Amino acid sequence: MRPRFRDLRATGIRGSADSRPAQSGAPRYPGWLVLPAVAWYAVFFLVPLGFIAATSFGQVEGFSDVAYTWTLDNYRYLWDDVSGDLHLYRDIFLETLKLSIVGTLSTLVIGFPLAYYIARYAKHKTLLLLLVIVPFWTSFLIRAYAWLIVLDPEFPLFRALGLTGFLERHEILFTPNAVYIGVAYNYLPLMVLPLYAALERIDWSLVEAAQDLGDPPLRAFRRITLPLALPGILAGSLLVFIPLTGEYIIPVILGGNKTFYAGNLIAQQFLESEDWPLGSAIAMVVIGALTIALVVYARALGRQEQHS
Amino acid sequence: MTGRRLLGGYAILAYVFLYAPIAVVVVFAFNGGRDVLYWQGFSTKWFEVALETPEIRSALKFSILIALGNAVVACVLGTMLALALPRMRSWVRTPIDALAYMTLVTPEIVFAIAVLVFFVQAGSRLGLESPLGWHTILIAHVVFNASVVALVVRARWVSMGQHLEEASFDLGAGPLSTFRQVTLPRLAPAILAGGLLAFTFSFDDFITSFFVAGTNSETLPIYIWGQLRFGVTPAINATAAMMLAFTLVVVVLAYLVLRRSGQERDSGGLPGV
């Protein structure tokens, strides 16, 4: 009764779940059944993305209207904006990249041993896996704000340990570190699932054989476990990295007003500055960067498949 | 052997990490005092306070109605997609697949502002006073939840084989009666599970709802977000605890439905995304 994560694999991480070729002869449900969903996607997803692409080349007109003037000013502004020695927007994009990388690596480091334990040693695999998934299905917002309580210097545990004073001097809450903690926490299930899916398929007798033949455990891990787990590592990294590039909730709640990333920058243009063209341009930069990252990823995956 | 024990100990710590913050929210919802961080005895009074706050009641009603409507539409669209897609030619299937996955992985803030711009621009072109409201939240939620339902239903649909449907078509039944008499009874658990998951996704959603809600449509997550500006209060914890409980019940229900129906076929389990 192990969940097979057929659907996870189908999430586009490694092609489609139904690799069977279409049997054109057998009778089947008519193809037009896909039309309502495709129309919905087209009108309420693709067209809106087209709208922000167009808006990113526009200008603010009047108070908050958009004039579609086909100018590159917004992008130029994002690239050039300088205050003293600082390139404001460029730095925020770099910070966002850093957040995405640190978040991906920390969930990988925290999640790998857990997935490894469940896949190789645990008795109640399904239950333990379910326990990883359950937080993922609960409200992201609540899981983020829970850390407002847990990281407070006056949290009862810190009071009991006498750490309140120390933590008041070395604040965690409302600093980038609080954001990193919140990210590692909220995104952990997304990393563990694909890791488990890959590790669960490993034939552990291979590892034992390598060790019997004299490989020290670490070497056996590097030569056998790691290559076999690589698809899971890549898939998990993707699932964490992509949404992190636009992370909005965690920096706002846990970062106070001192931390800025692409996500809050976009939101700010829409909620406060009423500069929709600039906000759209920032969103386009995020999408562009993601597309490049995905192409690199696909290349890496192709090489890995050739290899095996 | 020691490695195994070490990993076991680590796993326990990891589960503490996963559940402690959620537990803290729930425990402090039962705090009798006004201050969040100082325990002053067990009490359920903040739940009463929360349930008697008119804003919370209307937000809750709103969230449930939107989530329900979203689940129904997502079930219809997602199931239709899942039934036809697996057997389509790959040059049609691949782009549609890619599109469905894109709706799930695009950073939500990008999608949220995109539909916001779209609704406002389309609304002003159609001459609507205020185009935003509960219906724009519902429409936007259906975009990614149709994909969620499609994933769940399709996994079951592909794994259970389609010989019965082929026989039904061969015997002259049309798509509609084949669906009603053959496919629906077999797929009902998967559709129900997909619908339940779509419900929780919509019920818990904050970012998309926040941007396309307009001024008069406050869902529960939007309410909580607004209150967090004034800091965490016991009443907020109580509201959050109720939300958590509600979501958990729905998710467990979805899991049980999927698992029971998959017992003879070994493919239960919640989808990962």
Structural domain tally of chain A?
Answer: 1
How far from each other are the two terminal CA atoms of chain A, in whole angstroms? 29
Q: A22 or B36: whose pLDDT is higher?
A: B36
Confidence of residue A237 (pLDDT cuts 50, 70, 90): very high
Query: Considering only alpha carbons, which residue of chain A is nearest residue B81?
Result: A34
pLDDT at A20 over 70: no
* Model confidence band, residue A64 (pLDDT cutoffs 50, 70, 90): low
Q: Is the pLDDT of residue A282 over 90?
A: yes
Could you tell me the two tokens for A258? 């001192």
CB A148 within 8 A of CB A229: no
pLDDT at A149 over 90: yes
Which pLDDT score, from 0 to 100, does residue B195 have?
95
- Rounded to whole angstroms, the Cα distance separating A4 from A198 reads 10
Given a cut of 70, whether residue B69 has pLDDT beyond it is yes
Look up the domain containing A209 and give its range. Answer: 91-307
Q: Is the residue at A108 inside a domain? A: yes
Do B244 and A180 form a contact (C-beta atoms < 8 A)?
no
Domain span at B137: 57-261
Percent of chain A with pLDDT over 70: 89
Residue of A nearest to B204 (CA): A139
Mutation for testing the B interface, residue in A45, A123, A193, A268 having most B CBs under 10 Å: A45
Question: A54: distance to nearest CA of chain B, Å?
Answer: 10
Does residue B101 carry a pLDDT above 80?
yes
Q: Do B109 and A248 touch (CB under 8 A)?
A: yes
pLDDT at B160 over 70: yes
pLDDT tens, residue by residue, A195-219: 999 999 999 998 889 888 888 888 8
Supply the pLDDT for residue A86: 66
Q: Is residue B271 part of a domain?
A: no
ipTM of the complex: 0.91
B12: in domain = no
- Domain holding A256: CATH number? 1.10.3720.10
**pLDDT recorded at residue A84:** 65
Is the residue at A283 inside a domain? yes
- Is B7 within 8 Å of A30 when comparing Cβ atoms? no
Q: Give one word for B214, left, alpha or beta, with left for phi > 0 and alpha for psi -120 to 50.
A: left
Average pLDDT over residues A157-171: 88
> Across B195-199, B228-232, B258-262, which has the greatest mean pLDDT?
B195-199
Q: What is the largest CA-CA distance in chain B?
A: 72
Mean pLDDT of chain B: 90
Residue A283 banded pLDDT, cuts 50, 70, 90: very high
Question: Nearest by CB to A5, which of B39, B87, B272?
Answer: B272
pLDDT at A241: 93
Residue of A nearest to B121 (CA): A51
Q: Residue B198: closest CA among chain A residues belongs to which residue?
A: A137
Tally of structural domains, chain B: 1
- Which range is most confident: A54-68, A78-92, A244-258? A244-258
pLDDT score of A27? 80
- The mean per-residue pLDDT over the stretch B46-75 comes to 95
The CATH number of residue B195's host domain is: 1.10.3720.10
Q: Domain for residue B175, yes or no?
A: yes
pLDDT tens-digit readout, A30-62: 999 999 999 999 999 999 999 999 999 998 887
d(C-alpha A250, C-alpha A147), whole Å: 10
The pLDDT score that the predictor gives to residue B255 is 87
**Candidate from A79-83, A108-112, B124-128 with smallest mean pLDDT:** A79-83
pLDDT band at B51 (very low <50, low <70, confident <90, very high): very high
Q: A74 in a domain, yes or no?
A: no
Lowest-pLDDT range of A179-183, B39-43, B136-140 = B39-43
User: Between residues A111 and A79, which one has the greater pLDDT?
Assistant: A111
Average pLDDT, rounded, for chain A: 86
For residue B40, tell me if it sits in a domain: no
Q: What is the pLDDT of residue A54?
A: 94
Flag whether B28 is in a domain.
no
Q: What is the DSSP letter of B35?
A: S
Q: How many CB pairs under 8 A join A and B?
A: 306
User: Residue A270: which of B101, B113, B263 has the nearest Cβ?
Assistant: B113
Q: Which of A7, A23, A134 sits opposite B271 (nearest CB)?
A: A7
Q: What is the pLDDT of residue A307?
A: 66
CB A217: neighbour CB atoms within 10 A? 12
- B54 shares contact with chain A (CB less than 8 Å): no
For chain A, give the DSSP string: -----HHHIIIIISS-S--SPP-SSS----GGGGHHHHHHHIIIIIHHHHHHHHHTT-EEETTTEEE----SHHHHHHHH-EETTEEHHHHHHHHHHHHHHHHHHHHHHHHHHHHHHHHHT-S-HHHHHHHHHHHHHS-HHHHHHHHHHHTSTT-HHHHHHT-HHHHHHS--TTSHHHHHHHHHHHHHHHHHHHHHHHHTT--HHHHHHHHHTT--HHHHIIIIIHHHHHHHHHHHHHHHHHHHTT--HHHHHHSTTT---HHHHHHHHHHTS--HHHHHHHHHHHHHHHHHHHHHHHHHHHHHHHH-
Name the 3-class secondary structure at B51.
helix
List pLDDT tens digits, range B206-243.
Answer: 999 999 998 888 999 999 999 998 888 889 999 999 99
Task: Say what the pLDDT of residue A26 is.
Answer: 76
* pLDDT mean over B115-122: 94
Q: Is residue B50 part of a domain?
A: no
Q: What is the DSSP letter of B162?
A: S
Residues 6+ apart with CB under 8 A from A239: A11, A13, A190, A191, A193, A194, B105, B273
Task: Establish if B8 belongs to a structural domain.
Answer: no
Distance CA(A221)–CA(A89), nearest Å, equals 42
For range A96-110, the mean pLDDT = 96
The string of DSSP letters for B207-238 reads HHHHHH--SS---HHHHHHHHHTT---HHHHH
Q: Which of A47, A140, A147 is facing B21, going by the closest CB pair?
A: A147
